[in-house]
Amino acid sequence: MARRYFGTDGIRGTANAEPMTAEIALKVGMAAGRQFLRGDHRHRVVIGKDTRLSGYLLEPALTAGFIAVGMDVVLVGPMPTPAVAMLTRSLRADLGVVISASHNPFQDNGIKLFGPDGFKLSDEVEHAIEARMDNGHSEGRAKPPDLGRAMRLEDAPGRYIEYVKHTFPENRTLDGMKIVLDCANGAAYRVAPTVLTELGAQVVAIGVEPDGFNINHGCGSTATGRMQEEVVRQGAHLGIALDGDADRLVMADEQGHMLDGDQVMALIAESWHGRGLLRGGGVVATVMSNLGFERYLEGIGLTLDRTQVGDRYVIERMVATGCNLGGEQSGHIIMTDFSTTGDALVATLQALAVLVEKKRPVSEVGRMFAPYPQLLRNVRYGGGKPLEDANVKQVMEAARVRLGQDGRLLVRNSGTEPLIRVMAEGIDESLVIAVVDEIARAVERASARL
Reference 320, options 284, 287, 347; nearest CA is: 284
How many helices (H) and strands (E) the chain has is answered by 14, 18
Cis peptide before 19 (omega within 30 of 0): yes
DSSP code for 330: T
Phi, psi of 329 (to 5 degrees): -55, -30
Query: Is residue 201 within a helix (H) or strand (E), and if so which, with residue range?
Result: none
Cα 74 from Cα 149, distance rounded (Å) = 9
167 secondary structure, DSSP code: T
User: Smallest Cα–Cα separation from 237: which of 326, 339, 361, 333?
Assistant: 361
- Rounded to whole angstroms, the Cα distance separating 59 from 47 reads 8
Cβ pair 108, 215 in contact under 8 A: no
Q: Is 368 helix (H, G, I), strand (E, B) or coil?
A: coil
Please pick, among 54, 102, 221, 330, the residue that the annotation labels catalytic: 102
**Does the annotation count 102 as an active-site position?**
yes
DSSP reduced 3-state for 105:
coil
Which positions are catalytic? 102
